[in-house]
Structures are given as structure tokens and as C-alpha cells.
């Protein structure tokens, strides 16, 4: 996954950028039911230039508020459409902090109803949802939020390969291991690998129950 960085380069044409949010919302406000029936899950990410590129950049907070307001509208629209199907479904906003640009809206049902249950590790930290960051966004107060961990996974086999290619050093690998909040051994067919999970932020999982 490409890393997110704060917006340090000057961005011009903010009026045009604001219009991009509206266009993004209009593209996704109606859930693609046909695709949902094919895949039993669907999502929309923040494909808004220039923030969502290979090297992603977090927009300023005032712009993030505009995006989140439209995410709430999309969520509400998808929720109404899913309720008409009269089937159990998973629908949440994944709100990342500080990596806001990774945020997305996710829906799943039928065979994929439980698909996202283990996507994130739950956080043991006690934090209150940072509503002060997003102020009075219409509809946001209706959401219930669960705190999870935004992490980067480092596989030992990949790290060893990086050493062989001269991309990393043994010291780099040791630093990753020391920063990891979790280390797991995973069986991959007849072999096994080790994954080190490094926390890079929070993910707030929000829905209207």
C-alpha cells in the first residue's frame, strides 16, 4: 500500500477541487446493484485527484470535512437501497486517521456478509471519536464508531528478499520487528511465513444501527 503524506506542496484551483468532490459523489451515490449481486460486496474509495495517487496525500481538514459529508450521503443512499433488498448486510464507513485519504465506504451481503470481519485488529486503546475534527456534518451524529488499528503488514520472506536486493539492512528489519504490535506465523500451503504488523494509525468503523 502506498503511504499517505500530509499535503505539503501548494495545490492550486480549490474551486475545481471542490467540484471534484461533488462529481465523485454523483458517480457513487447510487449503489451498483448489478455488481453487488455478482460479487456480493462493493466499495468506494476516495478517488479524488491529486490526493489519491500512487503516493497519496492527505487533504487539508476543511476539504476532508467536505469529503466526509458526501461519504455520509453515499452511506445513507446505499443503506436505503440495501434495506429494500430485505436481506442482512454489512455497511460501514472506514474512516482512517491520520491517513484520511485511505477512507472508504464498504458494503457486503450474502456469501460475503462476514468477509470484512477480520480486516482490522480491534484497538485496546480507549479513545473518543474525534467529532471535533469534523464539526457539524449533517447525519454524522447518527453513527456509532468502533476503533480499530490501521497497520502495515511486513512479511518476513519479503523482508529477507529486500535484504538480498540491498533495499533494506538487518538493522531496518530489526527496527520493524521492534515496532510491531503483533507477530504471527501463517501457514501458506506446505510452508509458513511470519508477518509483523506495525501500527500506523487508527481506523474508525462507523455505521447506523
Residue boundaries of the structural domains of the chain: 4-151+200-207, 154-193
**Separation of alpha carbons 15 and 64, rounded Å:** 14
CA distance 13 to 49: 12
Split at pLDDT 50, 70, 90, the class of 22 is confident
Q: How confident is the model at residue 23 (pLDDT cuts 50, 70, 90)?
A: confident
pTM: 0.84
Which one has a higher pLDDT value, 185 or 51? 185
Q: Does position 8 have pLDDT exceeding 60, yes or no?
A: no
pLDDT at 11 over 70: no
Strands 4-6 vs 56-58: parallel, antiparallel or unpaired: parallel
β strands within the chain, DSSP E: 4-6, 41-45, 56-58, 89-97, 104-109, 144-155, 182-188, 191-207
CA angle 28, 32, 37 (to 5 degrees): 150
The pLDDT, as a whole number, for residue 27 is: 87
Is pLDDT at 6 greater than 50 in this prediction?
no
In this prediction, residue 10 carries a pLDDT of 54
Q: What is the per-residue pLDDT for 5?
A: 45
| Mean pLDDT (whole number) for 186-195 | 87
Highest mean pLDDT among 86-100, 128-142, 182-196: 86-100
Instruction: Residue 140: name the closest of 207, 44, 60, 47 by CA.
Output: 207
Q: b vs e for 139-164, b when ≥16 Cβ sit within 10 Å of the residue's Cβ?
A: ebeebebebbbbbeebebeebeeeee
Q: Which residues pair with 195 in a beta bridge?
A: 155, 184
Counting residues of the chain whose pLDDT is more than 70, the rounded percentage is 87
Amino acid at each position: 500500500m502506498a503511504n499517505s503524506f500530509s499535503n505539503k506542496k501548494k495545490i492550486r484551483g480549490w474551486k475545481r477541487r471542490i467540484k471534484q468532490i461533488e462529481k465523485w459523489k454523483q458517480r457513487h451515490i447510487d449503489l451498483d446493484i448489478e455488481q453487488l449481486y455478482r460479487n456480493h460486496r462493493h466499495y468506494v474509495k476516495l478517488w479524488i485527484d491529486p490526493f489519491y495517487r500512487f503516493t497519496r496525500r492527505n487533504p487539508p481538514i476543511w476539504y476532508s470535512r467536505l469529503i466526509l459529508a458526501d461519504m455520509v450521503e453515499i452511506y445513507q443512499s446505499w443503506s436505503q437501497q440495501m434495506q429494500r433488498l430485505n436481506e442482512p448486510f454489512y455497511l460501514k464507513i472506514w474512516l482512517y486517521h491520520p491517513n484520511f485519504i485511505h477512507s472508504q465506504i464498504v458494503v457486503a451481503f450474502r456469501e460475503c456478509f462476514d468477509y470484512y470481519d477480520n480486516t482490522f485488529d480491534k484497538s485496546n486503546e480507549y479513545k473518543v471519536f474525534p467529532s471535533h475534527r469534523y464539526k457539524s456534518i449533517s447525519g454524522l451524529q447518527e453513527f456509532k464508531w468502533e476503533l480499530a488499528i490501521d497497520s502495515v503488514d511486513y512479511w518476513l520472506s519479503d523482508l529477507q528478499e529486500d535484504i538480498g536486493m540491498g533495499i533494506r539492512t538487518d538493522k531496518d528489519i530489526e527496527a520493524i520487528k521492534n515496532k510491531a504490535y503483533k507477530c504471527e506465523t501463517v501457514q501458506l500451503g506446505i510452508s509458513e511465513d511470519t508477518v509483523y504488523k506495525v501500527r500506523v494509525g487508527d481506523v474508525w468503523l462507523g455505521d447506523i444501527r
